[in-house]
Structures are given as C-alpha cells and as structure tokens.
Structure 1
Amino acid sequence: MKSHLTGACVASALVLAADAQHVPGREQLERLIRDRVDSGMATGIVVGVLEADGTRRTAAYGTAGPGAKPLTEKSVFEIGSITKVFTGTLLAEMAARGALGVEDLAQAHAPDKMRLPTRGERQITLLDLSTHHSGLPRLPDNLAPSDPANPYADYTLERLRAFLQRHTLARDVGGKFEYSNLGTGLLGVLLANRAGADYESLVRERILAPLGMNMTGVQYSQAMAAERAVGHSATGSPVRDWDSGVLVGAGGLQSNMDDMLAFLDANVGPPRSALERAMRTAHQPRRDAGESMRVGLNWLTRTVGQDRIIWHNGGTAGFRTFIGFDPERQVGAVVLSNSAQGVDDIGFHLINAAVPLLPTPVHLPPEMLRRYVGVYEITPEFRIEVTVADRRIYIQATKQLRFEILARSETEFFVRAFEARIAFIIENGESTALILRQGGVEQRARKLR
C-alpha cells in the first residue's frame, strides 16, 4: 500500500491554560493512525485535533483510493450521520430567528399532503425528531432501493409521504430513545419546507457560508470532486458513494478536515455570533439516550468519569467519521476514514485518555463461531442475523448492511465499523441470546432460530 503522511499546525482563536492540554503530541498522533492503517484496520485516516492551548493539528496516513490524490487534510469524505448535528443546529438557528419553536408540532411544518402518525393524544414534535424520541423506526419499511449498494438514492418525498400516512407507531411518542435515520431525515424535510428552500441551500446559507466551509456540501462541487477520497469496505475493496435522496438531513453531507475543524472550533468555547449561540443551544442535553448518555438537538453527550464529551459519528458504505469535544477543557477531535471500520475509539481517546482504544482481536476457531449463528430478536421490527463465512463472523440488523464482529473473548465481541459490543449468552454449549451494547444502551435479543 502506498501511504502518505502529512501534518499541519494552525493557530486557533481559543486560548486556554497549558495545564488543560490533553491531546497527544504530533509523534503520538501520527503513530496512532499509522498503526491503525498498517494493521489492516483502516484504508486511510485523517485526524484533526483542537488543542486547549489554542492550536489545530492534523495528520493523515494511508491511501485515498484508486485514482485519488494523496490523502491530506484537503481530502473529501462522506461524513454520514455527522450531518445530523448540522440538522440539529439548523433547528436551533431557526428557533433563534423566531421562524419556529423547538417544541412545535412537526405536522405544522410538513409539506402539503404529508400526514405524520400520532399515538394516543400525543403528536410528534420537532424536539422528538431531533432527540430520537419520535417513536418512528430507524428506517422506513418502504425503503426498497433499486440498488442495495446505494440504499437512499431513490427514496423520494412521495414514498416518505406514503410511509407516514399508513405507519402505526409502535412506541409512545417521547417515551424512549430509539435512534432513527428516518426521524432526522424527516426533520430535515420539515426545516427545508419551513424555510422554502432545499436542504443543501438552507445548510449552506445558515451554517456553511458563515463559517467559510467551502468544501462541504451534499453535491460535489468541482473543487470537492478533485479532492474526493474513495470509500472502502471493511475488507478493503473500493465501494461506491451513497446518494442521499429525501432523507438528506440524516446523512447526506461530504466534507474535509479543514472544514470540519472550522465547524468544531465554532462549537467550542464562548459563542462569538448568533450562529454560535444557536450551536450552544443544540448541545444542551434534553433527554436520556441510554446509560451515561444524553441527547440534545442530535448532539450526544457522553459522561466519562467527571468529564463530558459532546459528540456524534457517521458511517456510510465506505466511510467512518467522528467529531467530538470536551466543553469544559475546550479540547476536540475530528477523525475521517475512507473505510467501513470504526474510528470512534480514536476520537474519544484523543479527547479523553480514559477512553481506551479498540482491543486487538483474538482468534476463535470456526466451530466455536458457528454456535452463534442464528436470528436474534430485539423487537419484532428489529432483528439481528449472525452468520459465519470464510472463518469470519458477521451481524446484519434489519434493513442494514452486514458488519464483521471481532472477538475479545469466547463470548464477547466488538464491531470495528462503529462503537458497539455484543455478548452471547451460552446455555448448555449453545447460544440462546445476545446482548447489544451501543451508545450507552443495552438491549437483549432472544435467539429465534
């Protein structure tokens, strides 16, 4: 593999006491991503840190993919669900302008002929959508892409209307955190409808242009296309980009490290503009999102000891991304990878060393892996299928991609593609259930077959 390593250091407007600095030095930073790529756990990684002493630093290692320029802080990645915090920021910004209220009924801002489901007397609010408490499922059941490799491309407003019209909520509105790409995608539709614009134009006018983020967008500009990184599967094969369709507000943006550090900087420290004040509103935790986790307007807040990390991650077929910061220490990190192997642990560890890096996986014989094969049910609408192929074990949740899981022990596994752990329950030598731990939430799934 041809590898390219770069580093840059830029003065920031933030100045803090030197004893608040945590971020590793340049040599450690470069060694961290070099080790991850050279071990086969990534194709290429660009990492950026916002230090407490007022500097930004970046490093890149690996390859940007076939036909791409060398990997640098200029390389453009799909940032996936990090788009959700831009959507949450739009909600806060529009509320600050008086265009709407965070707790408005979502139906009040829906396009013509769109009817949102209700449950009992409770209607879905904009806040419900932004905190994943709407009761809507993770994905609509009429997604049915013509090309499974590009699952959102042909999902239209008409299909979204049809789903919402006939859907019956299985959970109480506002009752429980349930991560929903559908919910945040719908929020993006409602905000754009209220503003009388398409989502990309709205996010560009309200966030990207004020922050000088010229290398961020839904569609690739000529300059962005010239710096495009190629996504790769977890096994290292190039994969195609995703097109976002109508649910663009849930995961449709592309960006690079320079722009993402500008966005990170705007989210850290005392606010310097109306936009930055709206950003601080979006950070504020409003509802529980599992053990040691709360959620604001799409921003998640994780507690690590006495410290807080405000964060989000993203993932598409060929990319994994992370952004986060400690609001008290004013230290933050962005990690961009063009591989479907997770980087959350790098981001969290850079912000707070108490969060460990992923362990080195252990090898288990195929006969041991095969006892875990089967279908496990968390709810009737959400099942996890466990399969084994070519001496590797995989999980695939309902209407989601397949991911490899790696062993920490005979019964404990972790997902390299994103931060999640799975523990299998063994009775009489056979698996009877699994426990999924993700985002501070623990869910038990019984084995159906």
Structure 2
Amino acid sequence: MRRFKHLSPVIFLFLWFVFSSYQTPDTLPKHVIDSIEKRIENGINPSIAIGIIDKKGPKFFNFGKTSKEGQLVEEHTIYEIGSITKVFTAILLAQQVMGGTISLDEPVNSYLPSEVVMPVKGSDKITFGTLSDHTSGLPRMPNNFTPANPGNPYVDYKVEQMYSFISSYEPTRKVGAKYEYSNLAQGLLGHILSLNTDLSYEALMIRNIASPLKMEETKIVFDQNMKNNLAIGHSNGVEVENWDIPTLAGAGAIRSSTSDMLKFLSANLGLTETSLRSAMDMTHQVRHDKAGGMRVGLGWHIKKGANGDVIWHNGGTGGYRAFAGFVKESGKGVVVLTNSTASIDDIGFHLLDPDSELKEVLSKSDAVQVPEEILESYVGSYELAPNFSIAITREGTQLYGQATGQSRFEMFPKNNTEFYLVAVEAQITFQVQKDVVESLTLFQNGQEVVGKKIE
C-alpha cells in the first residue's frame, strides 16, 4: 500500500565481488554496501534488512537500528510489508480456485451481500481474476476514504463504507480493458475470500500460508514477540504510527521479517517443497502485459532481467518500504525491508538483476564547491503552488531552503545548478537563462514540481 497523501504539496512529506546466480553470497558487493551505508548515514533509512535465498540456503545482511536509540536489526526484526500482502491474497485465491470453490473467471457479485452491486461498464462482469491482476476497472482507492487520523488512515474505514462505494461507483472503463493498480480491488478480494471461508483475513492467511511455511513472525496483529522486535516506522526521519488496515487487509496489512519472507520466497521458488507449490505456481502465470509493458500474474508483477524473469512486488505504508522478488531461472530470491518511506526497490532489483542500476545516493562529502556569487544568485523566493513557496537563503558557502510552514534544510551542490538533500530523497535544480535565475524544479517521490522565482 502506498503512503496516504495529504492535499498539501508533495515536497516535505519530504561484481567488484562476483558471485554465481546459483550461490548465496557470503557478503554483498562493495558498491551495494556503500550505497546502503550512505542511506543510513544520511538518515534516509534508519535500517535496511536484506535476505537472499538460493539452493545453498538463506543469508542475511543487516544495517542500522530499529530506531535512533533502538537495537541493531537482524533477521527477526519486524517490518510492515504493505502491498506485498497482495501476493499472499493471490495465493489464497489460487488455493480456493484449485479447491473448486470458485473460478478465476467467475463474477464476484454473488459472493457479496445481496444489497451490494458490483459496478460494470458494458456487459463483462468483475471476476476474481480481474480483481487480482488489476484490470477490474475499480479505482486505486474509494472516494469515501476520509480518515480521521492521517497517521493511521485505514483504521476507521468500515466494510459498510466499502460496500456503499462499490454499489454507487460508475466505472470509466470496461473490465479487463486496462491495468489500474487498485488497493480497493485487492482489499475487496481478500474480504470475499475471507467471507467464503468464514474466517478473518488474518486467520485465513495464517492457516493456509504462514503456518504451513512455519512463518511464526508473519501476522497482522502484533504478538508480544513481534512488538519486542519491531522496527519503528519513519517518514523523513520522524517516527510515525503503524498502520492498521482492517477492511482492506488483503491489500496491505501484513507484518513480517526477513527470516519469514525468505521462507515464503523459498516456497515460491520450489526450493522448499510444500503443499502450497501448485497454488504459488498459479500466481506466477502471466495474465496480461498491460502494466506499461510489464507483465502481471495474480498479484505478482513480472519484468525481464539479465538472469531471467524477475517476479516481484513491493510495498509501502506510512513508515515502511518493502521489496520481495525472485528469478526462477537462477533459483534466487531477495527480500529488502526498511523502516522508512524511502524506497529500497533499486537494491532488490539490482541483487536479482545486475543490469538494474542502483540509484545514486549522495552524502555531504560528495558536495562540490560552487562560487559564492553563483550561490547568491539563487537566493530568493520560489512559488510552487498558491500560498506555498520555497525560500532560498545563503550563509557563506552553504545554501539553505525553507518551504512555507516547514523547517529549514541544507542543500548540497552536485554541480553549479543541481543541489541535493541528504535527510530526504530530493533534489533541486535551478533554471538559468542568460545569467538570470528564472525558476527551480523540485524532484521528489518520482514527481517534478516547478517553482517560479518571484523575488
């Protein structure tokens, strides 16, 4: 699940070592370690926990602490895995399909209370398969999602609200026409699978997946051991609340550890023979390639890699990011967990696919020198939105920025026009025409926001 976004501007929610694809490394490549250590040194990620599995067995690589004053993380440290929950939901779906109680192509409406009417555009009905592969036509989130507490936004969203939205929603596209990532669809799917077994989503997941795989640290409701080993979630260096997701649990409610997640990946790879093998294999089968050229199975996303297809999913909640993926051709699986909203997907992809690049991480020591007269030319106010601007100031050779209603932050030069922040993943580039500074562009969270210089 992606982090709940306020309507305010986005800014400050602010080998060398070569190893075989068939052999678990005793250490990570130096450039990967360097990248991770920079992220932790900069305060971007308080901790990063990595697990790698292949036929030789599991290996764990842990960096950082559960919180600023917390304990060192290890393979039993607990993190929220967010939307990786969706592939658990897909396996539960596959199990019921194989058990003959439902069909992937079966409309889901008859499995809901009679007063709930699934929306359609055209004659095709929403099926179990289209809920799982993100082609149902349901939106990412319902429009009656109005959390009382943005720090824990899903906790008060009720089943009755979900039913009300579904029954009144008017789709903008036909079922199966287009990929649209939907937390609502996946949450609804988990809810229906739960209704079909008279179990809560958590009880169903534990009975059918966690217990058979001996994943004792994989639950929704914290037990005491999980509380003791919890990595505290962070957003922009600040501790935040955990997310509770009762109604849409199948979309992102699970908590787990790298130890347990490697058991899960081992079973998906067939390294561990389990009763879940056939159901897991069903979820890996490609259903369409409508996700921007990427293929999609049941829950899983699939991209081409140098060593074979990378079958993967990521996750994010208010204070965590997670990645899990594997390559059947190489027999290798990777999980990466962090207690920060800063993405670690690039680490997971790179460890599975050497052609997938690590993102650039810069620290204060990487800053270059820029003449003070150039720095002085950037001083001023830049409007990014009505009533929201960034004020740029200078003290000697240090440039600072401060957004409306926010704390001041340091800016470090990459070159004469590009500057980066270290505590959050963001960059600012100044646009200069004929020696006149016209605007700046903020790059953060995959978005670009232009601010015109107004004084």
TM-score where L is the length of structure 1? 0.78
Residue 101 (structure 1) aligned to one of 79, 82, 103:
103
Secondary structure in structure 1 of the residue aligned to 2:324: strand
Residue 46 (structure 1) aligned to one of 46, 49, 72:
49
Counterpart CA distance in 2 for 1:423 and 1:111 is: 54
Tell me which amino acid in the other structure corresponds to 1:193.
L
Query: Which range moved further: 262-271 or 238-247?
Result: 262-271
Query: Which range moved further: 301-310 or 265-274?
Result: 265-274
Secondary structure in structure 2 of the residue aligned to 1:373: strand
Unaligned runs of 5+ in 1: 1-17, 376-384, 395-405
Q: CA shift at 1:315, angstroms?
A: 0.5
Secondary structure in structure 2 of the residue aligned to 1:200: helix
Aligned partner of 1:63 in structure 2 is 65
CA contact under 8 A between 2:24 and 2:58: conserved in structure 1? Answer: no
Q: CA shift at 1:103, angstroms?
A: 1.6
1:307-357 Cα offsets, whole Å, 9 max, x none, are: 310000010111010000111111111001001100000000111111110
Aligned partner of 1:255 in structure 2 is 256
Aligned partner of 2:245 in structure 1 is 244
C-alpha spacing 1:67/1:270, structure 2 compared with 1 (3 Å):
closer
Unaligned runs of 5+ in 2: 1-18, 392-399, 405-411
1:263-297 Cα offsets, whole Å, 9 max, x none, are: 01001137733311110110111112434411111
Aligned partner of 1:35 in structure 2 is 38
Tell me which amino acid in the other structure corresponds to 2:296.
V
Matches within 5 A, 1:299-338: 299-305=300-306, 307-338=308-339
Counterpart CA distance in 1 for 2:23 and 2:428 is: 31
Matches within 5 A, 1:101-180: 101-180=103-182
Matched, 1:391 2:394: no
Counterpart CA distance in 2 for 1:31 and 1:118 is: 51
Matched, 1:283 2:278: no
Q: CA shift at 1:194, angstroms?
A: 1.2
Counterpart CA distance in 2 for 1:216 and 1:69 is: 20
C-alpha spacing 1:77/1:272, structure 2 compared with 1 (3 Å):
same
Counterpart CA distance in 2 for 1:302 and 1:124 is: 26
CA contact under 8 A between 1:238 and 1:318: conserved in structure 2? Answer: yes
Q: CA shift at 1:99, angstroms?
A: 1.5
Counterpart CA distance in 1 for 2:305 and 2:380 is: 33
Q: CA shift at 1:55, angstroms?
A: 2.2
Secondary structure in structure 2 of the residue aligned to 1:85: helix
Secondary structure in structure 2 of the residue aligned to 1:274: coil
Counterpart CA distance in 2 for 1:407 and 1:304 is: 34
CA contact under 8 A between 2:127 and 2:136: conserved in structure 1? Answer: yes
Counterpart CA distance in 1 for 2:419 and 2:144 is: 34
TM-score where L is the length of structure 2? 0.77
Aligned partner of 2:270 in structure 1 is 269
Aligned partner of 2:210 in structure 1 is 208
CA contact under 8 A between 1:110 and 1:190: conserved in structure 2? Answer: yes
Aligned partner of 2:340 in structure 1 is 339
Q: Paired residues, what number? A: 403
Aligned identity (percent) is 35
C-alpha spacing 1:435/1:239, structure 2 compared with 1 (3 Å):
closer
1:209-241 Cα offsets, whole Å, 9 max, x none, are: 10001111110012211211100112x111010
Aligned partner of 1:373 in structure 2 is 384
1:146-197 Cα offsets, whole Å, 9 max, x none, are: 1111110000101111111111112221111111111111111111111121
Aligned partner of 2:10 in structure 1 is none
CA contact under 8 A between 1:423 and 1:436: conserved in structure 2? Answer: no
In terms of Rg, which structure is larger?
Answer: 2
Counterpart CA distance in 1 for 2:106 and 2:414 is: 46
Secondary structure in structure 2 of the residue aligned to 1:307: coil
C-alpha spacing 1:424/1:435, structure 2 compared with 1 (3 Å):
farther
1:59-93 Cα offsets, whole Å, 9 max, x none, are: 11111016754311111111101101100111111
Aligned partner of 2:394 in structure 1 is none
| RMSD of aligned Cα (Å) | 4.0
1:345-398 Cα offsets, whole Å, 9 max, x none, are: 0000111111110123699989699878359xxxxxxxxx9975773799xxxx
C-alpha spacing 1:368/1:332, structure 2 compared with 1 (3 Å):
farther
Q: CA shift at 1:437, angstroms?
A: 11
C-alpha spacing 1:19/1:228, structure 2 compared with 1 (3 Å):
closer
Query: Which range moved further: 168-177 or 305-314?
Result: 305-314
**Structure with bigger RCO (C-alpha 8 Å, 6+ apart):** 2
Secondary structure in structure 2 of the residue aligned to 1:195: coil
Query: Which range moved further: 358-367 or 339-348?
Result: 358-367
Query: Which range moved further: 274-283 or 76-85?
Result: 274-283
1:385-427 Cα offsets, whole Å, 9 max, x none, are: 9975773799xxxxxxxxxxx999979999x999x99999999
Secondary structure in structure 2 of the residue aligned to 1:273: coil
Tell me which amino acid in the other structure corresponds to 2:384.
V
Counterpart CA distance in 2 for 1:302 and 1:275 is: 23
Counterpart CA distance in 2 for 1:309 and 1:189 is: 28
Secondary structure in structure 1 of the residue aligned to 2:83: helix
Residue 75 (structure 1) aligned to one of 74, 77, 94:
77
Counterpart CA distance in 1 for 2:285 and 2:100 is: 19
Query: Which range moved further: 145-154 or 32-41?
Result: 32-41
C-alpha spacing 1:331/1:424, structure 2 compared with 1 (3 Å):
farther
C-alpha spacing 1:228/1:131, structure 2 compared with 1 (3 Å):
same
